[in-house]
Every structure is written in C-alpha cells, then in structure tokens.
Chain A
Amino acid sequence: MQVVVLLAGVVDPKWRLDRLGLRPGTELADESGLPRRLSPFDEAALETALKLRDADPAVRVTAVLPGDVGSDALLRGVAAFRPDRAFRFDTSGLAPWDPRAAVRLLGLAVGAACGCPDLVLMGREFGDCDDGVLPAALAEAQGWRFCGLAHAVAIADGRFVAHRIRGPREELLRLPPPALVSITNDRGNRLRHPLMKNVMLAKRGPVEVVTPQAGAIPRAVVARSLAVVPPPQRGAGACRILSGPVDAQVAELAAYLRARRQAAAP
C-alpha cells in the first residue's frame, strides 16, 4: 500500500517578515534566511499517513516536499518522523503562482515518489499560494477519486474510509484507490513529536533531491511584482489594535469602556 504525503511548508510565522517582494531575477517570494516549517494542514496530513502505517505495517509512506535548497532543513525535520522515504522535489526557479502549473508540478512529484500511489494525502490548503483548489485540481488532473477536508482516514476492505464533518454530521466516504484526500487539522490528527534520536539522525543523514526535467512544467501566469497593499480605510467604529506600552493600552481600553458605560447610562 503506497501512501504519498505532499507537504508544502510555510515560512515560520514566529519570525518577522521584514520585507515582501520577489527575489531579484526570480518569480519567488524573497524568503531567504527565514526558517520554514510545516503548516498545520501539512502536519495533519503527515500524521494521518503515519497513523495509517501504525495500523498496518504494510503501508509505505513517502513524504515529498517541493521546494529549493532553503527547504532542506525542513525536510530533515520531516525525516525525523521516519517516513519510509522523504525527498525534496526540486522546484528551484519555479513559482507556484499558477495553479495549473502547480498541479502539473505536484503530479510529477507524486510520480517521482511512486508510479501508482494508492493514496495521496495533502493539507486542505497547500502552502501560501493556494486558494484551497490544488488538492481537488490535482485529483481531477490525475483521475484520482477525491475527498476534501477529511480529518481522519482509515483502511477497510481495500478501500480508504475518509472521515469528515459536515455541519452537525460526520460523513464517511469510502474511496477505492487511487484516491487523494485533503486533510484539515483536528485535535485527533495533531502531529506527534519525533524522538530526539531520530531528530539527531535526520540532521546527519543525506537529503534526497529529485529534480524534474527542464521545461516539464509549462506556465501560464508569471509573477512580476510582490508588494504590500495597505488595507482600505475603515469607517468609524471599526476595530483598532491598541499599541504602545501595556499600561497605556490598559488605560486607553479602560477609558473607552468608561465612556461607553456613560454613554449607555440613562
């Protein structure tokens, strides 16, 4: 049973993004020097894959992380969870702005993992450049069955059983392979912690990189600039973030509440 988990990776939100723009000469956002980490949806997808292997040792998990050399540290972090194989699908110079190109790229990445996957798992949103369409678009492009927004997957009678919540109901979708399931984060699929031993071994181990053929991914959309656009002015009564020293914030909030109380008094 071949399970491929596609991981996007995002810039670690704990770090301040001092600048926003394209890296000179490329279509890539300039995130150089900023550490990357798995998004919550990546983590949920990876944990779902590991749970499938816990339940059935015949499951083989391959983790694929598209990215350039800046993602290698993150790949080592993924390797610490001991998937059967983990590699970076080299996207140096390729930008994921174009969903059609991104789908093509991810299809090649899965193909590099194994010829015929039984199950592909990915987060409900794939990184920062996805509007939530990539999982469905990839399944459509590859002709795989699809379930979106699942929070758990099990295997029963050779089929995948995807659990998802729809309003007040929990749905169970039975999908024969090959299938793609996008995973939403949930208390039950919170990513386990790697053992320190495996973290240290992964730090020392080699990084496998698979490079797609040049020109394999035709693109329709080209990014020419990336900039911050100030939000539109809000009207009176809109939210405002208090700033400055905490004491000053507390004083301002207290004054505001007092004024509201006085205004509301009969």
Chain B
Amino acid sequence: MESMEADILIVGGGAAGFACALEAAERGATVLVLEKQPETGGSSAMSGGCLAFAGTEMQREQGIEDSAELLANDLKQLGGTDADPALIAAFATHQLETYDWLKAHGQVFSPALEASSGQSVPRVHTVDPADMVRLLAARCRTTGKVTLLVETAARRLQHDPAAHRVTGVLAEGRDGPIDIRARNGVVLASGGFSRNPDLVRQFAPDCEHAVFVGGAGNVGDGLRMAWALGADLRDMAQIKGTFGKHPTDELNNHSCLCVYKGAIAVNQDGRRFVDESLSYKLLGAACLRQPYGAAFQILDEPILRSGDNEVRILDFERRLEEGLFIQADTLEGLARQIEVPEEMLTKTVADYNAYVDSGEDREFGRKHLVHNHGALRRIETAPFYAYPSTAAVYGTYCGLRVDPAMHVIDVFGERIEGLLAAGEVVGGFHGNAYMTGSALGKALVFGRIAARTALGAAAG
C-alpha cells in the first residue's frame, strides 16, 4: 500500500479545506488536501457566494454601521438556545481578519452590500464562489507546501485507541489504497450530507418534499468517519430547507428572496402563512407545511426592480428574463394564472397593504423587510408578479460538535485528539435558523482556526 505523510491532512477541497490549507501553509506546514471528486469546489462553489462580514471597510464606505457585537447578537437571536455561543464568539472574533485576509489574497467583492436572512444591517459581501475557491487553491499552490490529490477519498480515520488520537486516514486514490499519516492532525472539511438520502431521511424526515441541492460529494463522509470514533453531533434536528427555490426549474440552483425586498408569501389558497422577514430557513419550514409544499412570492413592479443583479438570491431581473416569474396586469389575472382563488389573493394583498399603512401586521407581526432591517412597502403598482417557491436543502447546517478551536468533541465531552473539523460538517453554529453568508463565512473562518489550532497544538 502506498503511504504518504504531511503535517496536516485535510479531507475536502472546498472553501473550508483550502482556507485551512492556505493558513497552515503560510505558517510553514506541509499540507495534503484530499478531494474525492475530479474537481475541487464542492458545495462552496455552488453556493450563492454570500459572505457575512461585519465592520468591514466596504460597510464603512457605504455608511453602514456594523460590528462583531451586532453580528454575534444577530446570530444568537437567530440560533436560539441551540446555537453554541462559544462558536458564535469564535466566528465574530475572527471574521473581520478573515475578510482582510481574503482581500489581501486578491479576492474582489461585488460593490453592492445587501441585507438578507437574519441580518439587522446590510452585511452580505458577495463573491463568485467558484472563483474564490479557485483563488484559494491557486494561492495554496504558490506556497509550494500544499499537495492536492483529486479523485482520492478518505475512507476511514486511523486511530490510536490508547491515546484516543487520530493519526491519519486510510484513503482510496486512483491507483488504490493510500495510508496517510498526519503529524499535526486531520481536518475534516468534507461538507454535509444533502446528497445522502438515507442520512437525510434519518435526520430530516420533514424535508421529504424539499428539493436537495449540493455538491455531488456531500454524502456525509467526514461525519460518518468521526461518528464512528464517538464524535458528538449538533443541530441534527435543525435541518430545514431554505425558502425561495423555484420548485420546477432545474437550471437555477439558488433561492430567490423577493420577500426580503417587500414581497409577501402566499400559499395555494392565496393566504399568507408566515412573517416573511424571518430567516429563510424558518420560511422554508413553514412553506413545506403548506398545501403541495409550495408557495408563491407576490410582488409588484417596484419591488421587482429593487432586486440586485449582483447578488444571486436577489437577482430578480435575470429570473424574469428566464421566464421564472409569472406576470399579469392585475392581481385577479395573476391569481388565475397561479390557480389561487382571485378574491382571496386580492383580499390578502389589500389586508397586507393596510397593515403596511397602519404599521401593524395583525396576522403575523411582520415589522421589517428582513430581520430588523428595512421598512415594509405596499404591493400596488402593476404589473404584478408571482415567483413559485418551495424549500431547498442547500446545506445540512449541522454535524460534528466542535469546540471554538475546532477540535472534534466526542459524546462524553472529550476531545478526539488529532481530529479537527471546519465548514459544513460542523454543527452547533447555526442553531435554529440561518443567516445569509454565515455558511460560506464559517467555512473560511473555521478553516483558518482549525489550521492554527493544529499547528499550535504541535508547537505546544
């Protein structure tokens, strides 16, 4: 059997894996990255490219007051008691330096900043996510310390039971098995399990009707390998679909969130069913409880034109050009097209407009466009539009229990020495809901923390 050795072994070639690899290489470590797919990028490359950073120079230049404290408060408010405050603190503490680190490596952000799910102020910093992963991979190559093995899957963690320490992995490459030793630790950055129907059925039976989107390799490899060593799990009951996925369109893999610009969500009966300013995870869960597991976002012309073509989840005009919006000159005509009762839809919109005027949504208590941001707006100017929407599971947002240094923790609350995790395979950070940009942000921030921890442990 072929054998290899490195200071740090990283399982998964997405944003978390390459952020970890680059951080480690810049600190002088040799790194081996395993990617079982022929191409790197994983779910990170497929994502909306949104990064939640707070207190950045971009925000300051645009007059947006934000801070690590406000970011942490938003995350705590969203995640509820299930979100681990220590992980939130770790993210909030290190996110701004990660933004600066990315910029220093040449990452270019879209100039527009948007407020989206769970954000009290506009803090969505948008990138082309596939380009970002390629940039990190390229920077890794230039260090000369990172070796990438594609089409090489980690099969089992190598474990010294006496020391309760992970020493490497048994991998399967193009030419057969490889025994890989990791002197300073193994970092699992292998993503979630949205492409594993058995695990999804086991942990998220409520998502039976949801659409599943994610990297083809997201079948829970890292989760299961750590699980086999007794790793504890977090947030497994919190898997929810994200609202806003067109239920029958196969070309766009991203949600469309007209509700965060002022649209309302109605079900097939023409009735609202939720406070549309909530996190789109909660909207997704509410949507799946509606008839046919689907809904419509209802909006008018000014709301449609208020979209942002630089941000995938707010790119309304492109979707209009692709024929994904249903359009009519009257609400009655729109109702006929989407086959909801005309009288009910017109009443629902009229009631909502009255709530906007009075400042009080007596049905669902909506106060803002999104989270604590933005004033509500009437839906009144033709043409009117409907965007068919259901919930899609883009990421499982749950997984291994880790401490703020990214050590994997077992079911007895003890570290599994030599084993760290970062990115989507980590649980406990999001809790009950989800903030736009926190998954891709978490990949980068936690990936870098894992690298530092592994090397610090070795130095100590």
Closest to A199 in B: B248
What 0/1 readout, one digit per residue, does chain A (146-157) give for beta carbons within 8 Å of chain B?
Answer: 000000000000
Instruction: Check B248–A246 contact: CB distance below 8 A.
Output: no
With A190-B323, A192-B323 as known contacts, state yes or no: A197 contacts B294, CB within 8 Å. Answer: yes
* Interchain nearest-CB distance for A215 vs B (Å): 40
Q: Are A195 and B388 in contact, with the CB atoms below 8 A? A: yes
Selected contact of A197 from candidates B38, B249, B339, CB within 8 Å: B339
Compute the total of residue contacts between A and B using a CB distance below 8 Å: 33
| Listed residue (B246, B247, B249, B293) with the most chain A CB atoms within 10 angstroms of its CB | B247
Contact between chains at B294 and A193 (CB < 8 Å): no
Question: What is the CA–CA distance of A193 and B294 in the complex, to the nearest angstrom?
Answer: 14
Q: Decide yes or no whether B268 CB sits under 8 A from chain A.
A: yes
Nearest CB to that of A54 among chain B residues?
Answer: B337
Give 1 or 0 for each of B315-339: 1 = CB within 8 Å of chain A CB. Answer: 0000000011000000000000011
Give residues 177-217 of A contacting B (CB, 8 Å).
190, 192-200
Contact between B248 and A197, CB atoms less than 8 A apart: no
When the two chains form their complex, are residues A196 and B323 in contact, meaning their CB atoms are under 8 A apart?
A: no
Query: Which A residues touch B364, using CB under 8 A?
Result: none
CA separation between A215 and B384, bound complex, in Å? 54
**Of the candidates B39, B150, B294, which one forms a contact with A196 in the assembled complex, judged by CB atoms under 8 Å apart?**
B294
Q: Is the interface of B mostly helix, strand, loop or mixed?
A: loop
Q: Is the CB of A196 within 8 A of B248?
A: yes
A190 to B321, CA, bound (A): 11
> CA separation between A217 and B237, bound complex, in Å?
58
Q: Is the CB of A196 within 8 A of B338?
A: no
Task: Name the CB-closest residue of B to A80.
Answer: B248
Minimum C-beta distance from B57 to chain A (A) = 33
Contact A197 B291 (CB under 8 A): yes
B101 at the interface (CB under 8 A from A): no
Q: Which of A227-252 touch B at CB < 8 Å?
A: 245-246
Residue of B nearest to A14 (CB): B250
Residues in B whose Cβ lies below 8 Å from that of A245: 38, 150
Residues of B within 8 A of A (CB): 38-39, 150, 246-249, 268, 291-294, 323-324, 338-339, 388, 390
* Interface residue ranges, A against B (CB under 8 Å): 190, 192-200, 245-246
The 10 closest A-B pairs by CB, nearest first: A196-B294, A196-B247, A193-B248, A197-B292, A200-B292, A196-B292, A197-B268, A190-B323, A194-B248, A193-B249
Other contacts beyond A192-B323, A193-B323, A196-B293: 15, CB < 8 A: A193-B248, A193-B249, A193-B324, A194-B248, A195-B294, A195-B338, A195-B388, A196-B292, A196-B294, A197-B292, A198-B339, A199-B248, A200-B293, A245-B38, A245-B150
